[in-house]
Amino acid sequence: MSALSTVLVPIHRAGWPFIAGFAAASALFFSFSQLLGWLGLIATLWCVYFFRDPHRVAPQRDGLILSPADGRVSMIALTTPPPELGMGEAPMRRISIFLNIFNVHVNRVPADGSVVTAAYHPGKFLSASMDKASDVNERAAVRLKLPDGREIAFVQIAGLVARRIVNTLRDGQQVRAGERYGLIRFGSRADIYLPPDVQPLVIVGQTAIGGETVLADVASAEPARSGRRN
């Protein structure tokens, strides 16, 4: 791998209209103010950075559930999955991952399986760090049937700044762990709901890498991790 390839990370196609808009505005600003022009250039470079889409290598062992997003594990709790997925009211263990504006915002499928339901729910734009954001914020939720018949759910949640969720999955679609499936623009949260008998292998405060960090293993009887990282 060349040194250049480690710097020139691919850009997600959803970002190019924004990058082009920032670049055009910067050129306009330079025509009447050097200061505004440089500020616009900085904003353009930040936009390039925000929409980066780095290559990821997903673990291949059967039964692993991977993080759907980059970010910090902000909460682990027992709660009911989104009602639009039709998974009932029995509580499931939810792992919440908070994405700040500097994280990679491309989302990845957490496990092999078949999409049972992909649903969009309009809502508010509260801070994604709040617990009730899972219930009241705009979101796109996916119910996924695993090869062993168990089901998980994963959800993209808009935040205070995020105003656009991209989810390309459709009902009946076969997916593989680590595949790109969407993006949330400008700060957000990703939730994943585990089967009742599956324990999380991460703790609150831990940093997760989308498509690579193992959140849980459905084939393991290992107890849940304990502790918290500040």
Query: Active-site residue numbers?
Result: 188
Positive/negative CA dihedral, 181, 133, 105, 64: negative
- Alpha carbon 55 to chain centroid, angstroms: 15
Number of other residues whose CB lies within 10 A of the CB of residue 180? 15
Tell me, rounded to whole angstroms, the distance of Cα 119 from its chain centroid: 16
CA angle 191, 193, 195 (to 5 degrees): 165
CA 173 from centre of chain: 19
180-184, strands of its sheet edge to edge:
106-108, 180-184, 165-167
Closest to 191 measured CA to CA, from 67, 8, 18, 101: 67
Please, which residues have CB within 8 angstroms of residue 128's CB and are 6 or more apart in sequence? Answer: 98, 99, 137, 157, 158, 159, 160, 162, 187, 188, 189
CA nearest to 158, candidates 99, 218, 220, 82: 99
